Amino acid sequence: MASILTNLFDGVAYGMLLFVLACGLAVTLGLMNFVNLAHGAFAMAGGYICAVLVNNSGWPFFAALPLAFVGSALIGIALERTLYRHLYSRSHLDQVLFSIGLVFMSVAAVDYIMGSSRVFIKLPAALEGQIDLFGVGIGRYRLMIVVICGLLTLGLQLILAKTRFGSRLRAAVDDPRAAIGLGINVPQVFAFTFAFGCGLAGLGGALSAEILGLDPYFPLKFMIYFLIVVTVGGSSSITGPFLASLLLGIADVAGKYYVPKVGPFVIYTVMIVILLWRPNGLFGRTAAR
Amino acid sequence: MTALSDVSTHAMASARWRIGEVAFWILALACAFLFPSRYLIMTDIVRLGLFALSLDLILGYAGIVSLGHAAFFGVGAYAAGLLALHGIINEPVIALVAAGLVAAALGFVTSFLVIRGVDLTRLMVTLGIALLLEALAERFSDITGGTDGLQGIEMQPILGLFAFDMFGKTGFFYSLIVLFILFLLARRVVHSPFGLSLRAIRNNPLRAAAIGVPVNRRLIAVYTLAAFYAGIAGALFTQTTALASLDVFAFERSADLMLVLVIGGTGYLYGGLIGAVVFKMLQELFQSITPQYWLFWIGLVLVVIVMVGRARIHRWVLFVPNLIIRQFAGRKAVVAVPESEAS
């Protein structure tokens, strides 16, 4: 019983991590209808920024996390302004090719700069080990992830639903032309959202180094997971991708623990079945217009 | 009635063999005698060209964006490997066709999944199928050999006459002949009314359906055909290299294939073949400069191609050949950029 609960908790932590990693993609892919396979590259950038700061410069872990966010967001906005911007109106094939190219470049560049072996981030002692909660062993690090990601999710939901920027973004997504007509600077809104999504991915990358592992092939290995979250979750709200990530996280952890030999098999099958059953995602209104 | 005969004369005219095409194949054959020491890489190019031809059938002619075309390559490769390993079909040509049919069967079954939904769903489903097969091949390692791959494949002589030699000479001619036969078939298919209807579907599925083209059935047919081609390419891979390992399913293989097709151009059959030659030469070049980091340069090429624009690049690439052809033949360009790129 206790081990089931521990696994469930691990799954939830994993799922929340996936959500933070992928929710930026939910905006670019789901809302802006841009197939960005390079999303994992921004997550990897955040992870490596954090690793360099903590391991080489001796920064405390919690101080390095915001910088992982800022660093990835800056890279994101630089690329958005120079490259991505020109591709919004292109065909999906062009977008796929472009982002695959970016993934290849990022993989080789990180391999060149940082080496090809897995990188570990030194964690503060407070985050190591487990605590015992009603007889259920809970990893401290995972608890922290659940707390941080939970707060982020709440914050995102509030921003999207309550703030002026949130309503602008929703308007820009629903009908870009009408939004421009109303005086909303749509390219700016998109650029800012893109950068924010990249920043979140970077933060997720920094947090996930401990759990998912951080090496130059990160963007390729987890690309499918991000895509699953977005396509299965749909993009009409934040709740869809959130639930999809939780499902995926729990299913993946449980699959690896209880049926280790068919774990990935189950996930891909479930994904294909869901896509066939509801091509616009489980909770989605529309994934591609 | 006149409209119909107009269409058929137009189709017949575009299906005629051009000087440039004949020259292309003579050149391909000449390579075999010009570079006798490079059989292995030339076989690689031929195989890749066939694989790219297969993707072109669904991407360039039917407009289906696939990220998991390696699935069929892999199935063909393993089918050929298993047939040879267990001595079920010893004769390579029959085994090749059998492997292609296995891949085609898979293509037929999965085509029902692929024709549903829009671009994005197709991307995900094709990618998912390839990953699924990779996971399966890893799971049933007692059959597939797992990460070590199939070991100890011994190929029998082709038609019982031509044994595979260690320099790859037989392998090269074998691959080239297979490519040529399948190319003829593909050429016949795309210039047939069937091929024209595919192009109609690519340009506008709704409109194609409105004029009476059975969209889904055409897509299923061409997807199955493309799977057959990819399976043959995979089987050639196994037969000429005598190995098959998990990386036949790898995502990189599907991604590289897209690059090949994009370099050569989609929507005309030579695109994949020209792309394969250029891609392999680029790869050789980058690997000789930076053995470990060539992926970076491949990625850069992709980004640059997309940023500059695919149609524009093809105009530049085809500028010189078309100029020469115009000079000698005194007529319009033979190889033109297809009037409408897949979108």
DSSP conformation letters of A68-122: HHHHHHHHHHHHHHHTGGGGTTS-HHHHHHHHHHHHHHHHHHHHHHH-SS-B-PP
Is there a domain that residue A267 lies in?
no
Q: What is the mean pLDDT of residues A203-212?
A: 86
CA angle B217, B223, B229 (to 5 degrees): 140
Pair of tokens at residue A153: 């999710």
How far is it, in rounded angstroms, from Cα B236 to Cα B50? 10
Amino acid at site B236: L
Residue B247 above 50 pLDDT?
yes
Among the listed residues A13, A72, A33, the one whose alpha carbon sits nearest the alpha carbon of residue A246: A13
Residues 62..81 of B with a Cβ closer than 8 Å to A: which? 65, 67
Which residues span the domain enclosing A29? 2-218
Question: CA of B155: how far to CAs of A57, A89, B192, B272, in Å?
Answer: 58, 50, 37, 28
User: Which residues from B are below 8 Å from A275, CB to CB?
Assistant: 117, 121, 124-125, 128
| Residue extents of the structural domains in chain B | 13-329
Q: What is the pLDDT of residue A287?
A: 40
Nearest of A267, A96, A231, A229 to residue B132 by alpha carbon: A267
Q: Which helix (H) or strand (E) holds A131?
A: strand A130-133
The whole-angstrom separation of Cα B104 and Cα B235 is 12
Number of domains in chain A: 1
Nearest to A279 among B117, B127, B298 (CB): B117
Residues of B258-276 as b/e, b for ≥16 C-beta within 10 angstroms? bbbbbbbbbbbbbbbbbbb
Query: Residue B132 pLDDT > 70, yes or no?
Result: yes
pLDDT at B51: 92
> Does A250 fall in a domain?
no
What is the rounded CA–CA span in Å between residue B49 and residue B104? Answer: 18
pLDDT tens, residue by residue, A184-202: 888 888 888 889 889 999 9
User: Which residues of chain A neighbour B301 with C-beta distances below 8 Å?
Assistant: 101
* A86, A93, A275 ranked by CB distance to B117: nearest: A275
Query: pLDDT tens across A81-129, in order?
Result: 888 888 888 888 888 889 989 999 999 898 888 887 888 888 777 777 7
Contact call for residues A127 and A61 (beta carbons, < 8 A): yes
Closest-CA residue of chain B to A104: B299
- Most confident stretch, A84-98, A128-142, B3-17: A84-98
pLDDT tier at A282, thresholds 50, 70, 90: low
Set of chain A residues whose Cβ sits within 8 Å of the Cβ of B246: none
Residue A44 pLDDT grade (very low, low, confident, very high; cuts 50, 70, 90): very high
Residue B1: per-residue pLDDT: 47
pLDDT for res B54: 92
Facing residue for A265 by CB, picked from B136, B294, B296 = B136
B299/A contact by beta carbon, under 8 A: yes
What's the pLDDT score for residue A285? 53
Instruction: Kindly report the average pLDDT of chain A as a whole number.
Output: 83
**Using CA atoms, how far apart are residues A145 and A151, in angstroms rounded to an integer?**
10
Integer Cα distance of B269 and B186 in angstroms: 8
- Percent of chain B past pLDDT 70, that is, above it, reads 91
What is the mean pLDDT of the segment spanning B277-297? 85
Topology annotation, domain B13-329: ABC transporter involved in vitamin B12 uptake, BtuC (1.10.3470)
Contacts of A90 in chain B (CB under 8 A): 306
Task: Give chain A's contact residues with B (Cβ, < 8 Å).
Answer: 29, 35, 83, 86-87, 90-94, 96-98, 100-109, 111-112, 220, 223-224, 227-228, 231, 261-262, 264-265, 268-269, 271-272, 275-276, 279, 287-288
Note the pLDDT of residue A37: 87
Please indicate, yes or no, if residue A287 is contained in any of the structural domains: no
**Res. B341 pLDDT band, cuts 50 70 90:** very low
User: What's the CA gap between B311 and B79, in Å, rounded?
Assistant: 38
pLDDT at B343: 36
Task: For residue A215, give the 3-state DSSP assignment.
Answer: coil
In chain B, pLDDT over 90 holds for what percent of residues? 17
Domain-embedded: residue A281: no
Instruction: Give the model's pLDDT for residue B136.
Output: 84
At a CB cut-off of 8 Å and minimum separation 6, what does B233 contact? B47, B48, B50, B51, B54, B73, B76
* Least confident among A21-30, A100-109, B43-52, B201-210: A21-30
A126 inside domain: yes
